[in-house]
Structure 1
């Protein structure tokens, strides 16, 4: 069980890794490099040139890492085309130069992480692996973290965000912009003041089956939970502006490289749009250690540059025990990962429970996730009437333009909106402090163990915290 929070903000339980209480040596204050060095020392890692079965792979260049799953796939099917992300220790230009001449087709430069995305014959992977200084991983399909169910709309009160809405006589301070990396947004609806609060609908998907706005419906729903303002359907931060970045096609598919490109766009436009929060209600389908994963590296660039990153834990959990949190970006130790809670039939926590499908447990690197949980089951939110979600599940439409959905996809934007509300009141706080405030004030759930992290968020209490701990420092 959890212990109380000490004055330094550390919690003495398994949340902070397999060693129990977080140690300065593990988290440190040197950013990502200090953490990588410690994890590398504490984690038993397979040899970089090993394939899934443990047999030797082709020779690799000095300092080069190739995903074992990718090597195995290439060996089994050398004639197929594979989608890869190639990171170079010398930057994107070097990565681009090294993929030329091996029959690869360059799809996107990912300057944010010094990488390129390319399509190449699987049989040429061994030749690319001989180049030095590369990290080669799959440009894996990205999955949404939402499923379908029904709603009661108690969540704004159960999570405490309603206490931050303000009133006519005491309006809430202006919240910063929330970037929603998803399937787009139907901007011209009452939920977003007819589009007045939507700063842009940026299309970065590489896939062809993508309608203008939001052909899937998932992104509109997520944005509505984070920052909707329609009567009777207010989101967590109803006055926040929204930047929509569309990385999904109409079936809900995306490339990891497109999500990384979204991170690049957010960082480049952070100051112009006052982006302080980014929501990722999605996850990769490829397992990697966080220090090799290109998407983890991209979201960390946001975090270390002052953007609070919220990631859905995923919907592959089981009531039978921990599933682990195995995919980027939810597996990253710095960002805040969110699990889903069923708020029951009241605003009180006595009947709250972790949704049985909400992923939880250790990452590949031994970090316990999620850190917190928020309402994510039986949620009602806006969806375009022409979206594929409506076509697939018309029985979940509750009224014109609204559906009932469940998933960690919809718990994450509750926290994204709460973070925007906190930053409206504490604009000087860093992402580490916002994370610390949310964790410090979270309410433990009975019999949940670590499935809800340290507990269910209490947004109003988090916003009233005087001096929050740095959650990413011992």
Structure 2
């Protein structure tokens, strides 16, 4: 950052060592004038420093390293505030100003700067004020001030929840503690209806890195008029006491693509993918959540939304997609819509956690879609809690208006859907990447599949390889690549070569030439993930007619396709061919 006159940083002579040489300043600043009284003063000064340094570090909002705040004539400004002053000079900030001249000196320091004094803090020789970020440069030129964010105060340094799903998914065991904080998770992009950023769930907006409105539909209220995106983001990364999400220290980028009815155009969702691709480095976006699906059944290699999410995947962004809520209790529905039908991304089905804390009675929610895609890939790959979920919603949202009987407390309601299973896995992926930042999306997918917990009561395949277990996945030291066979068709410019893939499957229905052995499944310990039960033979690759890639000749009788035509319990009708629907039944 550019330094201005009177705003010098890191000048040791001014901060600790006095104005002379190190030896002279040590005598003047800390050690006094010598003798026993001098040593007593020195000890008191050292104790004071020991206490002050952690407190100033705690007040830093994470915008920079400790010790690099603005200093001028002894004035200190928290680095995070300096970044706001430089990037968003017109933003209103909540700050606490301490003064060596006492509370009156702190009050005098903001005279003429248009600041609103909210409270005088006599015990701290300070005032709490609201001030425009650009005015910090004026304060930096004054002497004897310490300026820090008036940040939210938490009862403890760890997340808390009253729900079961954070524990069954393994996420809660990765939250850390006051003495052993969790590593910083990467940013999660939530492509949805926006979020209500100022909620306690997102630390009053401190963890919302960006909010972008890309919706071309109306009406679309500011923030989150629908409420769906806030609910999803809270499950992925909420931090409110009692309602913590899967990765409560992750930052969030909100891409608003939906109107207040929960509908978006496919082009708006693709525009969100473009934005993530262009800005992933700036915001450290490593995970993107799509709790939505297209209204048009297509082959994945022809669908523009599938191509867009693949581009994210190939550029190191882990993509999570909801399976959909058009499943039935009578048999597999298939997973027919983008982006959940894409073989690269991780598609998530919804688990009904049953009535006990054990996995023995966990099953797929009756409306959770599962089965084969148009191209013969089995979906979903994994399951996560998605029924009777409690999450954050704006009180004025259309979801609250439509379902007032689902409100469990002010600002929170109970909902079900694969929409809310997906962010459990998005948060789990962020937790894994916090501990393995160099892993690729393929490796994260492999780790989550390898360590999935067995669900003996679930119909085979309805929840992929089982229920997500973030803790076990994060503890791995290496991970297999479940997309290795498909990776051979990814070109140097990070595009999927559909023509080559089609030529391969047309030439060999059994995929013998695709070398499934190269995926090294045998080298992985798949027993825990119950791969034996997944049985690739059941996919009937050999019986499928790859000649036209339409699966028209495949024997679907066992999949009961004819029985799955109706809307299932809690299902939501598919959107029109021009639209995207959010996924809560």
Alignment of 1:391-470 (within 5 A): 391-447=401-457, 448-470=459-481
CA contact (8 A) 1:153 1:378 kept: no
Q: Deviations over 1:350-408 (max 9, x none)?
A: 12111010000000000000000000001000000000000001000111000100000
Contact 1:184–1:201, Cα closer than 8 Å, also in 2:
yes
The C-alpha deviation readout for 1:76-131, integer Å capped at 9, x for no partner, is xxxxxxxxxxxxxxxxxxxxxxxxxxxxxxxxxxxxxxxxxxxxxxxxxxxxxxxx
Indicate whether 1:160 and 2:159 are aligned: no
The answer on 1:182 being equivalent to 2:186 is no
Give CA deviations for 1:9-36 in whole Å, capped at 9, x if unaligned: xxxxxxxxxxxxxxxxxxxxxxxxxxxx
Counterpart selection for 1:203 from 189, 194, 213? 213
Aligned positions, number: 324
Match of 2:74 in 1: none
Tell me, in whole angstroms, the C-alpha distance in 1 between the residues paired with 2:354 and 2:373: 29
Distance 1:425 1:375 in 2: 23
Within the candidate set 277, 288, 295, 1:285 is matched to 295
Higher helix proportion (structure 1 or 2)? 2
Aligned equivalent of 1:256: 266
Match of 2:340 in 1: 330
1:276 and 1:347 map into 2 onto residues whose CA distance is 31
Given that residues 237 and 250 in structure 2 are in contact (C-alpha distance below 8 angstroms), is that contact kept between their aligned partners in structure 1? yes
Alignment of 1:41-440 (within 5 A): 153-440=163-450
**1:445 & 1:285 partners in 2: Cα distance?**
30
Secondary structure of the equivalent of 1:427? coil
1:466 to partner: Cα distance: 1.4
- 2:483 paired residue number: 472
> Please, which runs of 5 or more residues in structure 1 have no aligned partner?
1-150
For residues 346 and 307 of structure 1, the distance between their equivalents in structure 2, rounded to whole angstroms, comes to 35
CA shift, 1:153, in A, is: 2.1
- What residue number does 1:112 align with? none
**CA RMSD, Structure 1 to Structure 2 (Å):** 1.0
Cα displacement (A) at 1:345: 2.8
Gaps of 5+ in 2: 1-160, 485-518, 520-585
User: CA separation in 2, counterparts of 1:343 and 1:222?
Assistant: 19
Deviation string, structure 1 residues 296-342 (Cα, Å, up to 9, x no partner): 00000000000000000000001100000000000000000000001
Deviations 1:395-425 (A, max 9, x none): 0011100010000000000000000000000
Higher RCO (C-alpha 8 Å, min separation 6): 1
In 2, Cα distance between equivalents of 1:152 and 1:168: 19
TM-score by length of 1: 0.68
> CA separation in 2, counterparts of 1:163 and 1:318?
33
Query: Normalising by structure 2, what TM-score?
Result: 0.55
Give the CA deviation at 1:152: 7.9
Measure how far apart 1:444 and its partner are: 2.3
Q: Matched residues in 1 for 2:324 and 2:359: separation?
A: 23
Q: CA deviation at 1:346?
A: 3.0
Local SS of the residue matching 1:209:
coil
CA drift of 1:453 comes to: 0.2
Q: Which 4+ residue blocks in structure 1 deviate beyond 3 angstroms? A: none
